[in-house]
Homo-oligomer: A and B are copies of this chain.
Amino acid sequence: MTASTESSAPGSTARTRVRRLPELAAQDRATLHAVLDDALVATVAVVDDGQPYALPVACARDGERLLLHGSTGSRLFRLLAAGVPACVTVTLVDGLVLARSAFESSMNYRSVMVLGSSAVVDEADKQAAMRRLTEHLMPGRWAQLRPPTRKELAATTVVAMPLAECSVKVSSGDPQDPDEDLDAPVWAGVVPVEHSWGEPLASADLRFDAEPPAYVRGWRHGRT
């Protein structure tokens, strides 16, 4: 295993060019999509009165855009709906890299940064976008649920961030110690971070005796 190096350029601009460790920049669409598809949450940054604010938001990729939803009353979603400059960042930590020095010690991770302005998903597409969000986060769930009410739809803002101006970084594999450190009498390698689904916990107010749905058992591990 070595730190990955991939090339070709989808939405790379001067603003998203990976400056630090550019050899970690992966720029093919498949990698971009795969990282986003493993993410349950993105951190969305906007600026208000010169101060950046970065908040966690559930996300779902829908083709070449990233869907985000929140309360119509939230300041973040009012700003996103207004199309202010935003940055949406996804980070998946895959492991700790134990090198022979603190300096070379690091993490294996996959990250995506998307710059741009989001657009409000209009009423005609809103329910489909909410289905996509639910099905990304909880595959199989949507068909079991009653449709959203008019009031619920009105209370929800869904925005889409185009995957136009993006950077992707993937760090994987062994530590990269310089030759002069290789004889150090210390173990070196990677300790993976694993993400898995725990045993489903029934709600205390469940009114009937039901097993957790079968689709939950089929959820793919490694998403976070």
Q: A101-B152, A224-B224 are in contact. Are A206 and B189 (CB under 8 A)?
A: yes
Collect the chain B residues with CB atoms within 8 Å of residue A174's CB: 203-205
Per-position contact with B for A9-49: 1 when CB-CB < 8 Å, else 0? 00000010001100000000000000000001101111100
Q: A45-B45, A145-B102 are in contact. Are A191 and B219 (CB under 8 A)?
A: yes
Per the bound structure, the CA–CA distance linking A11 and B106 in Å amounts to: 31
Minimum CB–CB distance from A121 to chain B (whole Å) comes to 15
Minimum CB–CB distance from A153 to chain B (whole Å) comes to 9
CB proximity to B under 8 Å, residues A108-140: 109, 111, 113, 115, 130-131, 133-134, 137-138
Per the bound structure, the CA–CA distance linking A55 and B207 in Å amounts to: 44
CB proximity to B under 8 Å, residues A141-166: 141-142, 144-146, 148-149, 152, 155-156
CB proximity to B under 8 Å, residues A172-224: 174-175, 177, 181-208, 210-213, 216, 219, 224
Complex copy number for this chain: 2
Q: A47-B50, A56-B89 are in contact. Are A152 and B103 (CB under 8 A)?
A: yes
Is A98 part of the contact surface with B, judged by Cβ < 8 Å?
A: yes
Interface residues on A, range: 35 or more
Per the bound structure, the CA–CA distance linking A213 and B100 in Å amounts to: 13
Per the bound structure, the CA–CA distance linking A216 and B51 in Å amounts to: 39
* Closest partner residue, chain B, to A127 (CB atom): B102
Contacting pair B43 A54 (CB below 8 A): yes
